[in-house]
Amino acid sequence: MLVERFLKYVKIDTQSSEESTTCPSTEKQFDLANVIIEDLKEIGMSDISMDENGYIMATLPSNIDREVPTIGFIAHMDTAPDYSGKDVKPRIVENYDGGEIVLNEGQNVVMSPVDFPEMKNYKGQDLIVTDGMTLLGADNKAGIAEILEAVDYLVKHPEVKHGEVKVGFTPDEEIGRGANLFDVEKFGAKCAYTIDGGEIGELEYENFNAATVNVKINGRNIHPGTAKNKMINSTLIGMELNEMLPVDQRPEHTEKYEGFFLLISMSGSVENTSMVYIVRDHDKDKFADKKQLIADAAEYLNKKFGAGTVDLEITDSYFNMREKIEPVMEIVEIAKKSMEEVGVTPIIKPIRGGTDGARLSYMGLPCPNIFTGGHNFHGKFEYIPVQSMKKSVEVIVKVIENYTK
Ligand SMILES: [Zn+2]
C-alpha cells in the first residue's frame, strides 16, 4: 500500500504559490487533501477534520489502559514553487544497478552517480524517479504516505500497544506558511515529528535563527558636472555597507554551524538604493551579534554621510528550535533509539534553514524532523528508495511504541 499510496499522491499537482495571499495558496492543494481525507476514513482513523484553510487532522485512539503521552506526526501537502509538479510520471527502477539512470531519453535527461554519489548507497534497491520533466514530490508526499502507512499498520495490528496518536497535514510549507494557521491546541499533542527530512537516518532538532534586513539608502543626485561636495551616491554607500560585512561569512564560504549574511538583492541609482539581506546563525548570541554588526555599520555610515542616509529595518523570521527541544530532549532520544532499534543509523545534523517544525516548536508543539528517505528535493533529479520509505514507516511505528515505555 505504501508505494501505491505514494504514487497516487505524487500524481496530484499541489504546487504552492508565493504570489497568492490565500490559504491554501493554491486551490489544487484541496485535490490531494480530499484524497487524504478518504484514505484516513478507509484506514479507520477518528476525529478526521479539515478546516477551511486545508489543514487536516485525525486521531488514532489509544489502545492501552494507562496514561501515555499523546504524540503527533506532521507532513505537508504542497510541492515547491521552484519546479513543476504537474503531470508527474513516477517510475520505479527496480534492483538499481548503481549506474546512470536515463530519466528521459527524448530530452536526454540522465541522472548519474557522478553528480549524485549518494545514489551508489542504493545499489540493489528500488528507486522511484521522475521522467525528467517534473519534480517527484517525495518532499513531502513520501512523509504523508509513510505516516498513513504507519497508522494503517497500527489499526491492523491491535496487539501493538500505543497511546493516542495525532496526524496533521498542512498546506503551503514550501512558501514558509505551513505553521501559520496550524491549531496547536486542537491538535492536542505533547510533541510531534515532521516527517520531512531527506536521506535515511536524518534526525534534526536544530535549525537557523533567521532575520531579514531591509536597507534603504537615501542619496542626493545632482548633475555630475556640478556635483563637487554635493552629490551623495546611494549605490556607492550600499557597496560600502556591504564591504563592512565579513567576507568569510557568506553562504558560499560557510557550512555546518557557521552562520552568514546573504545579500539577496540590490537595486538603485544615485538617488535611492535598496538592499535586502538575510542573516542566519544557529547560535542565539552569534545571531544577535550579526544583527548588531549590520546595525553598527549603518550607524557609522549615518555619521559619515548624515543622519537618515541609511535606514535599516531588521525583522526576525524564525528561531532555532533547539531552545524549545532541549528542555524535552527525550523526544529526540526516543527518535534516535527507535531508529537504532529498526536498524537505521541516525544522522543528526543541524538544518541550514528553517522548518515548519521550528515554527511549531515556538507555538508550543516541540517538533523535531525525521527522514522521509528522499534525495534531491525540488527538482527533476528527486528520487526516493522504496526501502528507505519502508524504514521511515518502521521508525514511526517504533517511536509510537516507545512512548508507552
Ligand atoms: Zn518538505
What is the tens place of the pLDDT at every residue in 52-67?
Answer: 999 999 999 999 999 9
Catalytic annotation present for 240: no
- How many of the other CB atoms lie within 10 Å of CB of 124? 11
Share of the chain above pLDDT 70, in %: 100
Taking CA atoms, 130 is separated from 16, 28, 187, in Å, by 19, 21, 34
Tally the residues of the chain.
405
**From 13, 39, 78, 149, the catalytic residue:** 78
pLDDT above 90 (res 103)? yes
Q: How confident is the model at residue 81 (pLDDT cuts 50, 70, 90)?
A: very high
What pTM does this model have? 0.91
Q: How confident is the model at residue 371 (pLDDT cuts 50, 70, 90)?
A: very high
Ligand 1 centroid to residue 139 C-alpha, Å: 5
Measured CA to CA, the distance from residue 130 to residue 378 in angstroms comes to 12
Ligand 1 centroid to residue 219 C-alpha, Å: 42
Ligand 1 centroid to residue 285 C-alpha, Å: 28
C-alpha cell recorded at residue 364: 508550543
CA proximity to 316, closest of 391, 214, 212, 220: 212
Burial class (CB in 10 A: 0-12, 13-18, 19+), 35: middle
Ligand 1 centroid to residue 375 C-alpha, Å: 11
Mean pLDDT value of segment 254-263:
97
pLDDT above 90 (res 27)? yes
Q: What is the overall mean pLDDT for the chain? A: 97
pLDDT at 355: 86
Strands lying side by side in the sheet with 127-129: 91-93, 127-129, 384-385
**From 139, 152, 164, 173, the catalytic residue:** 173
pLDDT above 90 (res 354)? no
Measured CA to CA, the distance from residue 294 to residue 185 in angstroms comes to 38
Ligand 1 centroid to residue 141 C-alpha, Å: 9
Strands lying side by side in the sheet with 202-204: 46-50, 56-60, 165-170, 71-76, 191-197, 369-371, 202-204, 347-348
pLDDT at 313: 97
Residues 17/23, Cβ–Cβ less than 8 Å: no
Ligand 1 centroid to residue 310 C-alpha, Å: 37
Mean pLDDT value of segment 243-262:
97
Cell 508527474 -> residue: 88
Ligand 1 centroid to residue 77 C-alpha, Å: 9
At 239 the three-state DSSP class reads helix
Mean pLDDT value of segment 307-318:
96
Ligand 1 centroid to residue 367 C-alpha, Å: 14
List beta partners, residue 313: 214
pLDDT at 259: 98
Encoded amino acid at 196, one letter? D
Q: How confident is the model at residue 125 (pLDDT cuts 50, 70, 90)?
A: very high
Ligand 1 centroid to residue 197 C-alpha, Å: 7
Mean pLDDT value of segment 201-221:
97
Encoded amino acid at 377, one letter? F
Residues 6+ apart with CB under 8 A from 87: 13, 133, 134
Ligand 1 centroid to residue 349 C-alpha, Å: 17
Mean pLDDT value of segment 221-235:
97
Ligand 1 centroid to residue 112 C-alpha, Å: 24
CA 292 to chain centre: 27
pLDDT at 56: 98
Residues 217/210, Cβ–Cβ less than 8 Å: no
Mean pLDDT value of segment 388-399:
98
Q: How confident is the model at residue 294 (pLDDT cuts 50, 70, 90)?
A: very high
Catalytic annotation present for 382: no
Ligand 1 centroid to residue 172 C-alpha, Å: 10
Ligand 1 centroid to residue 76 C-alpha, Å: 7
